Structure 1
Amino acid sequence: MSSGIITQARMGSTRLPGKVLLTAGGTTMLDYHLRRLRASGLPVYLATTTLPEDDVLADYARQRGLPCFRGSSDDVLSRYAATARQFGLTTIVRVTSDCPLLDGELIGRAVADYEQAANPRLYLSNGLVRTYPRGLDFEVFSAELLAEAHAHATSASDREHVTPYLHQNRSGRVEFGHVTRPRDASRFRLTLDTPPDLALLRVLLEQHRAADLSAEQLIALLEAHPELVAINAEIEQQKYDFTH
């Protein structure tokens, strides 16, 4: 069984262009993202587009020895399926690169649980039953389920958002697992989509050593500092909120 994390990245963004290469404390958000993911113990693969504007991301990957696949800018589902095939993955963790504070150890534990279940029809995530802050999202599923979605999902929205065919159980054969915590912390927002999000992340990374904190420590920090939460509290999540 070959497990790996595929993170999707692009330079285009309507609300915050070039966001993954913006910096905090002299380090790019993408560097923080990848560093955190490596704590999972799993290999990480970058899935970007063939658009010229994303050449910088392909160069970034090449300079760091990060395996990279370039595919469609709009059909992200095909990009994921091709990345999984290219690198021979049988278990896929899907994340998005605008989440610089993802908890790699949390992801690693989830994948261990997933593999122990040994069920290729299982879709495991912490986003359908949301108790973690936005920006800590991940999904785990088999190459079999990914290939099925790629073969059967037809709408532009399904293709753009990768997993609706799975988490809406269009086949009727998907089984679900949920990664949750006892107390709901979904009110917090740690994703990078707007200037206020960037402002909060910079404060957390530069003043509170957030890059070294676990998900639980990040949540405790936000609970203790409502003035930090207020920085991006007014941001409305885009309508399709789970898979970015």
Structure 2
Amino acid sequence: MTEKIVIIVQARMASSRLPGKVMLPILGKSLLARMIERLQMMQHKADIIIATSENQEDDIIVKEAVNLQVPYYRGSLGNLLDRHYQAAKLFKADVVLKIPSDCPLIDPRIVDQVLEYFFANRGKYDYVSNLHPATWPDGNDVEVMTMACLRQAWENAGRPMELEHTTPYIWENPLIFSVGNVTWKTGLDYSMSHRFTIDYPEDYYFIEKVFKELYPVCHQFTCRDILNLIERKPEIYQLNSQYAGVNWYRHHLDELQTVLPDQTKKAPNEVLHQNEA
């Protein structure tokens, strides 16, 4: 019997740095729609679910899910682990993927590669990702876990960080879970130098420019195509390069035992405020 793979894309309008970022326009469609389009290019057969909150401001995301003909789930705004688990349970997942909605440039081939590694080692790992540690450009985040693994995390996680970020409880408990990691076959590590994710206005300008340059040529453009583009046109790379390496880890280094300080950095404005203090 084939195991049911469910990809859960958590999306909400609330964002402290760039409110409504998932609904920003990219070539006439929302950023969320462009990301779903890319996920639908995967080779593996998987159900894609948009998981949003019950808050009224997220009604627009539900409407977008309906327009895209993608199933949705509404749950907790702040407890993303619960939202993730409840969505996976509702759609009867055997294998669950976590792919954040701030990754509209994600390469579907990378998703397939992580899934292939997971299934090639079925029974060996409860959880496999390509970000612990990361090597691809930030914004190609793929986390795969068994439903049993997700359920165990949901039952036992309690710290705010574990609830907000869904999977740290799994990483941080190697005696409970068997964790695998997939690294970029190139041997390169662009995780701290190249940023394809969205959290700041500059990230939007970068993503919009990449789509405008590459999408008309080939809808299924790859991570390598983006890298080639920014090598040819370094001014595109410069649009958001000041935020390369900035991620949520920086707020929790005192709590995370499996993340090193060189895997994150402060945003430029945070460094400025620190210096002023």
Q: Same fold (TM over 0.5)?
A: yes
Q: Does the 8 A contact of 1:222 with 1:228 survive in 2? A: yes
Q: Which residue of 1 aligns with 2:55?
A: 51
| TM-score, with structure 2 as normaliser | 0.82
| Shift in Å, 1:174 | 2.2
**2: CA distance, partners of 1:47 / 1:74:** 12
Q: Does the 8 A contact of 1:61 with 1:68 survive in 2? A: yes
**1: CA distance, partners of 2:123 / 2:234:** 41
**2: CA distance, partners of 1:54 / 1:85:** 21
Q: Does the 8 A contact of 1:120 with 1:142 survive in 2? A: no
Letter in 2 for 1:59: K
Structure 1, residues 82-103: CA drift from partner, whole Å, max 9, x if none?
Answer: 0111001011110111111111
Q: Which residue of 1 aligns with 2:112?
A: 108
Higher relative contact order (CA 8 A, sep 6+): 1
Q: Which residue of 2 aligns with 1:144?
A: 148
Larger Rg, first or second structure (1 or 2): 2
Q: Which residue of 1 aligns with 2:221?
A: 213
Structure 1 residue runs of 5 or longer lacking an equivalent are none
Alignment of 1:91-240 (within 5 A): 91-119=95-123, 121-169=125-173, 171-181=175-185, 182-186=187-191, 187-209=193-215, 211-235=219-243, 237-240=246-249
Aligned pair partner of 2:69 in 65, 68, 71: 65
| Shift in Å, 1:208 | 3.1
**1: CA distance, partners of 2:62 / 2:17:** 22
Q: Does the 8 A contact of 1:94 with 1:139 survive in 2? A: yes
Q: Which residue of 2 aligns with 1:37?
A: 39
Query: What's the Cα RMSD here?
Result: 1.8
Structure 2 residue runs of 5 or longer lacking an equivalent are 251-258, 260-277
**1: CA distance, partners of 2:20 / 2:51:** 16
Q: Does the 8 A contact of 1:36 with 1:102 survive in 2? A: yes
Identity in percent: 29
1:87 corresponds to 2:91:
yes
- Assess, with a 3 A threshold, how the Cα gap between structure 1 residues 228 and 163 changes in structure 2: closer, same or farther: same
| Shift in Å, 1:110 | 2.0
Q: Does the 8 A contact of 1:134 with 1:190 survive in 2? A: yes
Q: Which residue of 1 aligns with 2:11?
A: 9
**Which moved further from structure 2: 83-92 or 233-242?**
233-242
Which aligned segments of 4 or more residues in structure 1 are displaced greater than 3 angstroms?
Answer: 170-173
**1: CA distance, partners of 2:106 / 2:202:** 18
Q: Does the 8 A contact of 1:49 with 1:72 survive in 2? A: yes
**1: CA distance, partners of 2:125 / 2:71:** 27
Q: Does the 8 A contact of 1:33 with 1:102 survive in 2? A: yes
**Which moved further from structure 2: 27-36 or 59-68?**
59-68
Q: Does the 8 A contact of 1:32 with 1:211 survive in 2? A: no
Q: Aligned pairs, how many?
A: 242
Structure 1, residues 64-123: CA drift from partner, whole Å, max 9, x if none?
Answer: 221111000011000011011100101111011111111112212321221222127432
